[in-house]
Structure 1
Amino acid sequence: MGKKRIVFFAYLLLSTIFISFSSAGITEGSPLSIGQTLSSSNGVYELGFFSPNNSQNQYVGIWFKGIIPRVVVWVANRENPVRDSTANLAISSNGSLQLFNGKHGVAWSSGEALASNGSRAELSDTGNLIVIDNFSGRTLWQSFDHLGDTMLPFSTLKYNLATGEKQVLRSWKSYTDPSLGDFVLQITPQVPTQVLVMRGSTPYYRSGPWAKTRFTGIPLMDDTFTGPISLQQDTNGSGSLTYLNGNFKRQRTMLTSKGSLQELSWHNGTDWVLNFVAPAHSCDHYGVCGPFGLCVKSVPPKCKCFKGFVAKVIEEWKRGNWTGGCVRRTELYCQENSTGKDVNVFHPVARIKPPDFYEFASFVNVEECQKSCLHNCSCLAFAYINGIGCLMWNQDLMDAVQFSAGGELLSIRLARSELGGNKRKKTITASIVSLSLFVIIASAAFGFWRYRVKHNVSANITKDASQVACRNDLKPQDVSDSRKRLEIDWPKRFDIIQGIARGIHYLHRDSHLKVIHRDLKVSNILLDEKMNPKISDFGLARMYQGTEYQDNTRRVVGTL
């Protein structure tokens, strides 16, 4: 019984020592060994040694305390695991934090000499491992400046254009291997910046430019992100993106070994919930439709060319390989400093993720943005976006996506014939159709009129109608003479028409002989020197009674 009490009290003593160590931090005389951990004061995070997949490789890392399976958010010695059981993490004599691999020397270090007066390492409540100067209390080094594959709230991505320094996320090589993988997540030096995932030297995913509170390539960002984002950027392109704390005590954004960008939060102490993932759609993969290609987020997704463009290699597109993209159907014609409005037009396309390789222009409205692009022969497209302003494109339109909702309005420069040609063709076609219909209707009306005239003539001529001869000894002028038409104004023409009508009325109604003119046309209207109309050439026809429709007769009327 006494031995059991001794063992129990020894266990309590060791536990007390362990707890004291956890709260005191790491110092030169108090290193962190395998089997020991250092916890944050709020009990959310824990620092210690871990071995992925129960291998012999030991890594120093930070994880969420009390969550199984363990979720590691930062690793110190990613490229150099230790295998010596005596390995420990300690503050060196020069003040830096170092991982000693037993007799094999230093496996990892936070850097060169940091403090001559001594320092200590602590794990903050945000999961940030920091080295603090014992004398001044100044932070000498922090893990948030050396991110792994995960961003925690208040950690930051950075890009310094002047020095070229970057702070990025680097994926694990595999789920069980924390060494550097194939994917890197960074912010770009463009203005405005965007998030870019690279696979080696090849772009893999792009968020679209930042517009104050959202990325333009994520239409539902406000509904999906639980952690807000703060982005600061100067006009030179240097900037930082900070992942802020949301509504959950435990949340993270990570880049997986497969290149997937994920935001997760711990719900109700039971499970991780995936709030956001990218790429989530085949159109999210960078440049899937090639230059000037548009990936439409439909079911199934499909690539198409922008208006005015055609597939560069038709056979490849038919096989579903769209990476070759599209080329212009009609080349642009533009002279520098000209308006270009006579030969170029802008075609708007809605619900678009702005393409890559944009350039920011400080214009205050869409009219100025369009005018500037039109005057610049290198400008291929423009967009005026809320929260950004004017963006222009002088390079191939790459990685353009069309959403089912949301997105921006992109105006693409085209040759005028790409828009006007179809309109002109439609106008010509409509004119031809209208003219054809008019001719058909006019011909039908004229035929019906001729039928009615002939019908009335044959009905009114009596059996003993006399033969009538009409002659004119004057030397009249032909109305159809084109050289004389210009001498006749419209009032005179009206008088001529009235004269012809009175003449026909007299012959048909008032003459003591029944005279029916059978060939009234312009060439049969003669004018004397005073422009008085004279009717000539009555034509010839055999006569029969109006009640008959067939007869054998020698009676003839007409001009003699």
Structure 2
Amino acid sequence: MGLGRGKISMALLLLTSFCVEIITAIDTITSTQFLKDPEAIVSNGSIYTLGFFSPVNSTDRYVGIWFNEVPVVTAIWVANRNKPLNDSSGILAVSKDGNLVVLNGQQEILWSSNVSNFVSNSSAQLSDTGNLVLRDNNNEEIIWESFQHPSDTFFSNMKLSANKRTGEKILITSWKGATDPSIGSFSAGLNRLDIPEIFIWKDNYPYFRSGPWNRLVFIGVPYMNSAAVDGLNLVDDGEGTIDLTFSYANQSFLSSFVLTSQGQLEQTRWEHGMEDRIVLWSVPKFDCEFYGRCGLFGSCNAQASPICSCLRGFEPNNPEEWNRGNWTSGCIRMKSLQCERVKSGSEAAGQNDVFLKLGNMKVPDLAQWSRLTEIECKDRCLTNCSCIAYAYNSGIGCMSWIGDLIDVQEFSTGGSDLYIRMAYSEIDGNHRRKVIVMVSAVIGTIASAMICALLTWRFTSKHRARKEGGEKLHSDTNEKHPSFLDRDMTGDSRDHVKLQELPLFSLESLTAATDGFDLSNKLGQGGFGPVYKGKLSDGKEIAVKRLSRASGQGLKEFMNEVEVISKLQHRNLVRLLGCCVEGEEKLLVYEYMPNKSLDAFLYDPLRKQLLDWKKRFNIIEGICRGLLYLHRDSRLRIIHRDLKASNVLLDPELKPKISDFGAARIFGGDEDQANTIRVVGTYGYISPEYAMEGRFSEKSDVYSFGVLLLEIVSGRRNTSFYGNEQALSLLGFAWKLWNEGNISALVDPAISDPSSQVEIFRCIHVGLLCVQEFPEDRPTASTVVSMLNSEISYLATPKQPPFAERKHHFNEERPHQNEEKCSINYVTVTVVDGR
């Protein structure tokens, strides 16, 4: 009897031990404890469940997490989204290498946590926050968690993050369909980290934008009041990361944000006993909320008919399309701004531009943020001609815009005050025009009477003069003999003025500085003549560009370079020190760059090793900032038209300086593009619209920059592909690799470093955006700067560049003559015909 009681006691002890093990392991998966369909585990507080499920009207099986208290399984996280199980043989386990994996009946891995480091002892636990955590049990370190890889749902205790420095983001992505959890077309998360906003993207293009966060709500959605978004909060860690967190105050019901397969972000909640969730609000809700609905400089008003109108001072860019209800082409300014006319020198100062206040507005995208007060914000924008609009919000600070205005909306209530710069004549509308008409009529009457009187007086005076002494036919003043300046510069007094603005060097001093233009001092040979290194009597080193006497072309370019570069001052532009014009000699004197030009490094097998990725990125950014200065920030608005590696000089610290402005074109304040019958530049860098139609604009320079960026990343010339690799250019090769998902093959092995991979790939992405075939698809220089610095961290999908999949036909009649085998062009050279 005693022995029997002992056996029973032992059995009870073993059973108790077994039950304890199950209880302690009910929320955990280990290498020996795994889930087999249809098993599930529940978090310690019975809030969340992890297990196998099938969506409604589907037999496919997935591993997911759902709210334990909700009667109908509605997954808020899915593991094997793109690889469903087609039967109930699935297993969720911890593999030998420490990863969490989903296996089918054939032991094939359909999904893995994909941790690269081998872990000998790990386990996965479902916490009461809904986070599935994979932990290294040797050191209790978390090596993977589901919160870092969300599906379509953002729920309590999660974080949607964005890192300004690395460009990395945690986004939610939609299901492909209501019953298909595979990754769909839509994603949502944070963007614009200086002024955080929620974005929804469709196929990587902006689809919806919430407007900036003012510490309480996102001001671009008026009905998103504080009650509706109770629990949302933004946290800046001070090291470049912004987190959007969500913790609902009322714990009596479960709430979450879901990105649907149709692209709507819905706030939903379940209450106890309910089988379906309630949608509290969703975006985009109205037609006006779709990103950029009315195009550039257009404003959308859901209460108006039609919903789109141009901002005050603007008119439809394409009236026919606009009248048909196609507003994508947006609007253009009707009258150029006074500050642009003054800046370009086309008009003296007149009535200053003014700012028009627009109330209850959704502020445009791509704002620049600063910590200025409201008065300082206004003053800074007023004194900066590039600033076309500003807004101030006490919870945000100063916002200003220097480029196109996109995604503007007018509300009946809410929003923010937006101030837009416009010409003085555009203010006060009809009332002002009536006053002008009345005043003009009075002034016209008086002026007519005065003109009649003046003409009568002049006729009488001339008649009297003829009677007294006869008409004087010839002047007896001495004829002025033209100076060498007038004679050599075709007698144009404007050229004289241009040269007087620069220090003049004597031919004798430059001859001495270059040892009589000795061949040993020759730096390169350009389209208009050679460039020499020289040293002045005070020891200062210079580079002298000598216009060839035999060059019938180049006189215009010489004067153009004098006019353009003498007015430019920027750290990424080469500095013109002076010039010399004597007899038939025409010379330009530049600061000397000891490292010569970028191509001397980039395409040299040994010297390219000196350009690590950090130096190359600094060169890329410096070139783009130089372009931005030319296009937007200088006193003149300049299109370079010949940007290439040999026209980028490197200073002693390998900082870039754009050179050779012989082909540059100055734009007036109201010019966006121009046409020419004489295409200048270098084949391979010329944009298609310029090469084929003679049309050039800022976007032509952006195209050239994109080619140059891809050359810098790849270490290869754009022309190095001729006759090779299916006769593709560098652009075609990059496009081919992009579509194959093998973009890493484009990267120069000299800079191939895993720690820089994200930034390198981002630069390639930006380069492909810059070389898209149509100018309207390419970003502006200011946008490129923002993209390079991850201020615009989510990039659009590039479209195919020109000539990507076909042989080049440009100048095929002279292939050998025009092929650029190598470059010794180290300083300033302009090629005046496509090559």
Of 407, 413, 423 in structure 2, the residue corresponding to residue 405 of structure 1 is: 413
1:346 Cα deviation from its structure 2 partner: 0.3
Number of the residue aligned with 2:263:
259
1:11-160 equivalence runs, <5 A: 20=23, 23-53=26-56, 55-83=58-86, 85-112=88-115, 116-160=119-163
Does residue 307 in structure 1 map to residue 312 in structure 2? yes
Write the deviation string for residues 59-97 of structure 1: whole angstroms up to 9, x where unpaired: 110112242432110001111122354321111223221
Q: Secondary structure at the match of 1:277?
A: strand
Contact persistence 1:340–1:374 (CA under 8 A): no
Spell out structure 1 runs of 4+ moving beyond 4 A: 15-22, 234-237, 335-341, 420-424, 428-435
Sort the Cα spacing of 1:124 and 1:107 in 2 relative to 1 into closer, same or farther, 3 A.
same
Provide the rounded CA distance (Å) in 2 between the counterparts of 1:299 and 1:429.
31
Which amino acid in 1 is paired with 2:424?
Answer: R
Which amino acid in 1 is paired with 2:280?
Answer: N
Number of the residue aligned with 1:201:
204
Number of the residue aligned with 2:388:
380
Number of the residue aligned with 2:213:
210
Provide the rounded CA distance (Å) in 2 between the counterparts of 1:341 and 1:367.
24
Number of the residue aligned with 2:368:
359
Task: Give structure 1 stretches of 5+ with no counterpart.
Answer: 1-11, 436-560
Sort the Cα spacing of 1:410 and 1:22 in 2 relative to 1 into closer, same or farther, 3 A.
same
Sort the Cα spacing of 1:34 and 1:300 in 2 relative to 1 into closer, same or farther, 3 A.
farther
Does residue 415 in structure 1 map to residue 423 in structure 2? yes
Sort the Cα spacing of 1:283 and 1:67 in 2 relative to 1 into closer, same or farther, 3 A.
same
Give the stretch that moved more between structures: 153-162 or 128-137: 128-137
Which amino acid in 2 is paired with 1:384?
Answer: Y
1:36 Cα deviation from its structure 2 partner: 0.3
Q: Secondary structure at the match of 1:331?
A: coil
Provide the rounded CA distance (Å) in 2 between the counterparts of 1:78 and 1:428.
68
Provide the rounded CA distance (Å) in 1 between the counterparts of 2:179 and 2:399.
43
Q: Secondary structure at the match of 1:222?
A: coil
Contact persistence 1:126–1:152 (CA under 8 A): no
Provide the rounded CA distance (Å) in 1 between the counterparts of 2:41 and 2:287.
43
Does residue 164 in structure 1 map to residue 167 in structure 2? yes
Provide the rounded CA distance (Å) in 2 between the counterparts of 1:17 and 1:258.
46
Sort the Cα spacing of 1:116 and 1:225 in 2 relative to 1 into closer, same or farther, 3 A.
same
Provide the rounded CA distance (Å) in 1 between the counterparts of 2:415 and 2:204.
28
Write the deviation string for residues 105-162 of structure 1: whole angstroms up to 9, x where unpaired: 2111112356745122111111111122334433222100101110111111111232
Which amino acid in 2 is paired with 1:425?
Answer: R
Q: Secondary structure at the match of 1:373?
A: helix
Does residue 272 in structure 1 map to residue 281 in structure 2? no
1:219-230 equivalence runs, <5 A: 219-230=222-233
Q: Secondary structure at the match of 1:427?
A: helix
1:502-541 equivalence runs, <5 A: none
Contact persistence 1:173–1:181 (CA under 8 A): yes
1:430 Cα deviation from its structure 2 partner: 6.3
Contact persistence 1:49–1:58 (CA under 8 A): yes
1:312 Cα deviation from its structure 2 partner: 1.7
1:452-467 equivalence runs, <5 A: none
Of 309, 330, 335 in structure 1, the residue corresponding to residue 335 of structure 2 is: 330
Sort the Cα spacing of 1:301 and 1:245 in 2 relative to 1 into closer, same or farther, 3 A.
farther
Provide the rounded CA distance (Å) in 1 between the counterparts of 2:103 and 2:268.
34
1:433 Cα deviation from its structure 2 partner: 11
Sort the Cα spacing of 1:199 and 1:24 in 2 relative to 1 into closer, same or farther, 3 A.
closer
1:421 Cα deviation from its structure 2 partner: 7.1
Which amino acid in 2 is paired with 1:325?
Answer: G
Number of the residue aligned with 1:348:
357
Provide the rounded CA distance (Å) in 2 between the counterparts of 1:181 and 1:17.
43
Sort the Cα spacing of 1:429 and 1:341 in 2 relative to 1 into closer, same or farther, 3 A.
closer
Contact persistence 1:35–1:48 (CA under 8 A): yes
Give the stretch that moved more between structures: 303-312 or 256-265: 303-312
Sort the Cα spacing of 1:366 and 1:66 in 2 relative to 1 into closer, same or farther, 3 A.
closer
Provide the rounded CA distance (Å) in 1 between the counterparts of 2:87 and 2:20.
23
Does residue 288 in structure 1 map to residue 296 in structure 2? no
Report the identity percentage: 38
Contact persistence 1:96–1:114 (CA under 8 A): no
Which amino acid in 2 is paired with 1:255?
Answer: L
Provide the rounded CA distance (Å) in 2 between the counterparts of 1:362 and 1:251.
35
Sort the Cα spacing of 1:113 and 1:358 in 2 relative to 1 into closer, same or farther, 3 A.
closer
The Cα RMSD (Å) is 3.0
Contact persistence 1:34–1:85 (CA under 8 A): yes
Which amino acid in 1 is paired with 2:392?
Answer: Y
Contact persistence 2:299–2:311 (CA under 8 A): yes
Does residue 297 in structure 1 map to residue 308 in structure 2? no
Number of the residue aligned with 1:488:
none
Contact persistence 1:303–1:322 (CA under 8 A): yes
Task: Say how many residue pairs are matched.
Answer: 422
Provide the rounded CA distance (Å) in 2 between the counterparts of 1:29 and 1:236.
40
Contact persistence 2:295–2:407 (CA under 8 A): yes
Contact persistence 2:359–2:417 (CA under 8 A): yes
1:172-187 equivalence runs, <5 A: 172-187=175-190
Sort the Cα spacing of 1:336 and 1:303 in 2 relative to 1 into closer, same or farther, 3 A.
same
Provide the rounded CA distance (Å) in 2 between the counterparts of 1:341 and 1:393.
24
Provide the rounded CA distance (Å) in 1 between the counterparts of 2:145 and 2:349.
56
1:216 Cα deviation from its structure 2 partner: 1.4
Write the deviation string for residues 209-240 of structure 1: whole angstroms up to 9, x where unpaired: 11112111122323452442121237886422
Provide the rounded CA distance (Å) in 2 between the counterparts of 1:394 and 1:217.
20
TM-score by length of 1: 0.70
Write the deviation string for residues 431-460 of structure 1: whole angstroms up to 9, x where unpaired: 69999xxxxxxxxxxxxxxxxxxxxxxxxx
Provide the rounded CA distance (Å) in 1 between the counterparts of 2:353 and 2:20.
79
Contact persistence 2:52–2:62 (CA under 8 A): yes
Contact persistence 1:88–1:101 (CA under 8 A): yes
Task: Give structure 2 stretches of 5+ with no counterpart.
Answer: 1-14, 444-835
Sort the Cα spacing of 1:237 and 1:122 in 2 relative to 1 into closer, same or farther, 3 A.
closer
Sort the Cα spacing of 1:245 and 1:430 in 2 relative to 1 into closer, same or farther, 3 A.
same
Give the stretch that moved more between structures: 282-291 or 116-125: 116-125
1:175 Cα deviation from its structure 2 partner: 0.6
Structure having the larger proportion of residues in strand: 1
Give the stretch that moved more between structures: 331-340 or 374-383: 331-340
Provide the rounded CA distance (Å) in 1 between the counterparts of 2:108 and 2:120.
23
Which amino acid in 2 is paired with 1:328?
Answer: R
Which amino acid in 2 is paired with 1:308?
Answer: G
Contact persistence 2:60–2:87 (CA under 8 A): no
Structure having the larger proportion of residues in helix: 2
Q: Secondary structure at the match of 1:103?
A: coil
Contact persistence 1:114–1:140 (CA under 8 A): no
